[in-house]
Amino acid sequence: MAIIVDTNTRLVVQGLTGSEGSFHGVRNRNYGTQVVAGVTPGKGGQDVEGIPVFNTVAEAVAEAGANTTMVFVPARFAADAIYEAVDAGIGTVICIAEGLPAHEMLRIYNYIRPKGVTMLGPNCPGALSPGKANVGIIPAEIFRAGPVGLVSRSGTLTYQIGHELTQLGLGNSTIVGIGGDPVVGSSFIDVLAKFEEDAETELVVMVGEIGGEEEEKAAAFIEAEMSKPVLAYIAGFTAPPGKTMGHAGAIISGSAGTAEAKKEALEANGVRVGTTPTQVAQLVAERASVTS
């Protein structure tokens, strides 16, 4: 199974003809992902190393059977690209582009959510199901297949932890980067729920960081809804406290949003938290050996 991307993924790359889009699009294809189309307005009819390019996502869906999109267009065109994909019937949106205006993303989120669309990003590294499909910029060569689900707000930190797991002989079902922008398409809880239902995932590592209250909410969700073990890493124990204006932020979350507060919330709900990437990998190794 794996989650979000797998052998059934038929990917269209929005912005395939750009330098980053073509580099990663071809790299994803070479990994084994079915990259069936690219979309660049005005370049319909061309191809990128054999991947056909269309003017619109609707054509990519109709003619190439795309069901997933990777958005690689500049931030100020990304909202339009996402609406285009979703309105063309794409069910999974992976937005690598970063820095979308938050109000635009807010509207997108509220628009796509009732339609049942799965979205990662903006500002995410994508999703990799080792041996099945890689959609995004995750360096697949450092990961191997296995029973550990990995979900993270951070890109490079995810690679770091995946790398440590691999060195301990552990593999992943799917590595999911949910993205670092203020408003993203999926929360930790959304992805944890998918891992809970995924037969190939035996335990899950959640990689959080300071700010917001997603980790605290996830802690409660894990306690209430997850049967599979979850381990966590939180970055930012020594980060400077973010300056915030006004009182509204603090009132909303009712949480300090510090790494310490997140660690406490997770541990209070039975989730062990590692203090370095290396340590969390060791915790996973211990747990995995117990589980299997």
- Work out the number of other CB atoms within 10 angstroms of the CB of residue 197: 11
Burial of 236 (0-12, 13-18, 19+ CB in 10 A): middle
Identity of the residue, 75 or 145, whose beta carbon is nearer to another protein in the bound complex: 75
Residue 199 as a binder of another protein (CB under 8 A): the answer is: no
Residue 22 as a binder of another protein (CB under 8 A): the answer is: no
Query: Measured between alpha carbons, how far is residue 204 from residues 128, 180, 231, 233, 246 in Å?
Result: 15, 20, 6, 11, 36
103 in catalytic set? no
Report in angstroms how near the CB of residue 96 gets to another protein at its nearest.
8
Stretch that binds another protein, among 28-36, 223-231, 250-258, 260-268 (CB under 8 A): 250-258
What are the tokens at 10?
Answer: 């038929």
Residue 134 as a binder of another protein (CB under 8 A): the answer is: no
Contacts of 205 (CB under 8 A, 6+ apart): 148, 149, 150, 151, 161, 165, 230, 231, 232, 233, 280, 284
Residue 90 as a binder of another protein (CB under 8 A): the answer is: no
**C-alpha span between 275 and 74 (Å, rounded):** 35
- With left for phi above 0 and alpha for psi between -120 and 50, is residue 134 left, alpha or beta? beta
- Residues 168-187 as x/- pattern, contact with another protein by CB under 8 A: ------------xxxx---x
State which of residues 43, 139, 144, 171 lies at the interface with another protein (CB under 8 A).
139
User: With contacts defined by CB under 8 A, how many residues of the chain interact with another protein?
Assistant: 83
Identity of the residue, 183 or 228, whose beta carbon is nearer to another protein in the bound complex: 183
Stretch that binds another protein, among 36-44, 190-198, 224-232, 283-291 (CB under 8 A): 36-44
Residue 275 as a binder of another protein (CB under 8 A): the answer is: yes
Helices and strands of the chain, counted as H and E runs: 10, 14
Query: Could you say which DSSP state residue 242 is in?
Result: P
State which of residues 134, 154, 172, 201 lies at the interface with another protein (CB under 8 A).
154
Identity of the residue, 8 or 63, whose beta carbon is nearer to another protein in the bound complex: 63
Residues serving a catalytic function are 247
